[in-house]
Chain A
Amino acid sequence: MGYWLIEMSPDKPQWLELRRLLISAGSIAIFILIWHILAWWDHQEPDVVVIAYPGEVFVTLINSFVEADYRTYLMHVDIVASLKRLLLGFLLAIGIALPMGLLMGYSYIAMAASKPIVEVLRPIPPLAWLPVFLMLFGNALGPIMIVFVGIFFPVLLAVIFGVRSVPPELIDAARTLGATRLGVFRRVIFPSTVPYLMNGVYIGLGVGWMCIVAAEMLGVEGGGLGSRLWASYETGNYDSMYASIIMLGILGVLTTELARILSSRVRDWMGME
């Protein structure tokens, strides 16, 4: 045993990486095994079988990309539909929350004017707007507006906080060097707000996914993962339901990673100012 440990010295970097991969793969394998056992145990008691076997879920997941279900949508069509709504709501939210947050953080008057309305609307859970927005904006635009509300407030608050958190010494330094008010804003305040903005974006993305799935379960046009999930549940095709859940998890990871890459690019770009 000791001989084996000496051979695979932990100082060798490849061994470290390999060991880490093995442990991760092992833990995922154990997770799937436990899932299978739970599904088997659930199947023993007919009447309320809720857990589908991991095997059938993965087969359905792969199949969903090539074989259209009775909704006539392929999985990638659903994915694109959900992503489109998320992106549109996201852009709309950033487009309004960023300038508004900068203004509110910077200008005492803007803050005093907007704060009461924001403080009244902000605590309302975005999903509470579902029935209203679906009736007002219809099945096509409604879900996008829900995502908008979900992402808007975290981003707004993060930007305001970012503006307020600029160290005063930096502002003084810029002033001393002869910067105008606009110059201070553009060169000092705006760049330092970016990390806070990205934080708001991470939170907003999580809320955004939640909103889009729930909204799609209730009423949507053009497919989507939420609508696939709900339809699978309604017709008792739980393997397809779990496949949708897994797909949502994968997409959540991918979008946050994308946001992370974008944020470091933006930070680089800002750093060159």
Chain B
Amino acid sequence: MKKMVAILMAIIIVIAVIAGALYLTLSDGSGEDESIYYTTIAPSNMKIALDGGNVAGYIAWEPYCSDSIVAGVGEALVWSGEIKSDHPCCVVLVSNNFLSSSNGSELTARFLKAHMEATDWINDALSNKSSTNYTALMDMAVAFTSRNSSVVGSAFEHVNFDYAITQEFIDAMVWFTESFIEIGVMTNASLTDRGYTSTEDFAENYVNESHIGDAIEVLPSDTIIGEVRLGFLTGDLHQMAQVVARNESFFGGKSPFEKYGISISVATGAPYVNGPSEMDNFAQGNVDIGYLGAPPAILKHINYPGVQAQIVAQVNTEGSALIVSPGIQSLEDLKGKTIAIPGTGTIQYLLLQVLIRDAGIELKAA
């Protein structure tokens, strides 16, 4: 009798377990849910996730936004410029170790000269869509991002390329830092632990505009003066300047970097999947100069691993968006649903937090 009971109990447990497991998969967990959830997905997989219904939306950098828009898989609910107008996005970061090496300072100035020239060239090309420069730009962008020209063309509409360091830029760095503290990813204590008295003090010291000042006087060089190990993000159209500056074929066999005496080698592990990952590589000494979002550059300098570096130039402003499946008209529609982010610590995550908190909704990890 005891055995019958035992066997029966065992069968019931197994059935209950399987039933519970099925319930977990099939129930969406929506209903009276007042929060929005986030999960991390690599940007290249975001469109598939949206299409397949795994997520109700995602926030990423171009061209991953236009990807879904052009394919009709999703629409932009909010462009990042609507969350914070003219916000800086990617920056050029130089490791202090590299700067203090024998000709590090000179190489940085030369690097920035090429960066500025490439940025000016891009803006010139974009202003005249019938020029050969524009065609060349599109070709380079298509090759770099592996996207077709309509996606790339749409993407360029939403990114602004600029290298100048202005007071607005520094104010934005302060805003990023304070937003991180407000979200709880960083604390004021960690700021003071790093040796800064305030967020303004931090921004003034972390951003160094002297190098871009030096860059203005740099002249072309016939010989290669030094090597730079370059870091950048996968298929990130914001960072088009480094793509152009590395391009040899259009510029007569000598890329803008080479014109100013810089030999570029792609850093180990690059292209990186997001900014925080690139910062980890800075920490390990793999990257000399890198293009990445300002927020991760700030976050992983103040938090562990405490990367010692300086922001020396801007790369672009805006150029990200919250893409949602058609039918979602507002943030309210996203309640109880999940949005994909490229990673906590990215600017996309930060902007998403700001957007959703300002609407009075809670953003929770999925």
Residues of A near any B CB (own CB < 8 A) = 46-50, 52, 69-73, 88, 91-92, 95-96, 137-141, 144, 186, 219-223, 227, 231, 234-238
Contacts and interface: CB of A to CB of B under 8 A. Distances in A.
Q: Which of A52, A72, A231, A234 has the most CB of B within 10 A?
A: A234
A71 B300 CA distance: 18
A236 B304 contact: yes
Contacts of A231: 344, 365
In this complex, which of A47, A50, A227 has the most chain B Cβ atoms within 10 angstroms of its Cβ?
A47
Contacts of B276: 234-236
Given A140-B25, A236-B302, 8 more contacts: A46-B306, A47-B97, A49-B305, A72-B365, A139-B54, A221-B37, A231-B344, A235-B185
Interface string B295-309: 000011011111110
Contacts of B338: 221
Given A91-B17, A95-B14, A144-B21, A71 B299 contact: no
Contact of B21 (A50, A141, A219, A235): A141
A51 B305 CA distance: 9
Given A141-B24, A238-B304, A92 B184 contact: no
Nearest to B307: A47
B85 interface: no
Given A88-B17, A92-B18, A47 B306 contact: yes
A235 B275 CA distance: 11
Contacts of B17: 88, 91-92, 95
A92 B21 contact: yes
Contacts of A50: 304-305
Contact of B283 (A48, A72, A138, A222): A48
A48 B25 contact: no
18 contacts: A47-B96, A47-B305, A48-B283, A69-B184, A71-B364, A72-B362, A72-B365, A92-B21, A139-B39, A141-B21, A144-B21, A144-B24, A186-B3, A221-B37, A222-B366, A234-B40, A234-B343, A237-B304
Nearest to A221: B366
Chain B, interface size category, equals 35 or more
Given A141-B24, A231-B365, A236 B14 contact: no
Contacts of B283: 47-48
Contact of B303 (A70, A137, A236): A236
Nearest to B35: A72
Give the 9 A-B CB pairs with smallest separation, nearest first: A236-B303, A95-B14, A71-B365, A238-B304, A70-B184, A72-B364, A141-B25, A236-B304, A91-B17
Contacts of A70: 183-185, 344
B231 interface: no
Contacts of B282: 47
B20 interface: yes
Contacts of B364: 71-73
Nearest to B14: A95
Interface in B149-193: 183-186
A47 B307 CA distance: 4
B345 A52 contact: no
Given A47-B306, A137-B25, A234 B345 contact: yes
A235 B344 contact: yes
Contact of B305 (A71, A219, A236): A236
Nearest to A134: B54
Interface centre among A69, A219, A222, A236 (most CB of B within 10 A): A236
Contacts of A48: 283-285, 305
A91 B19 CA distance: 12
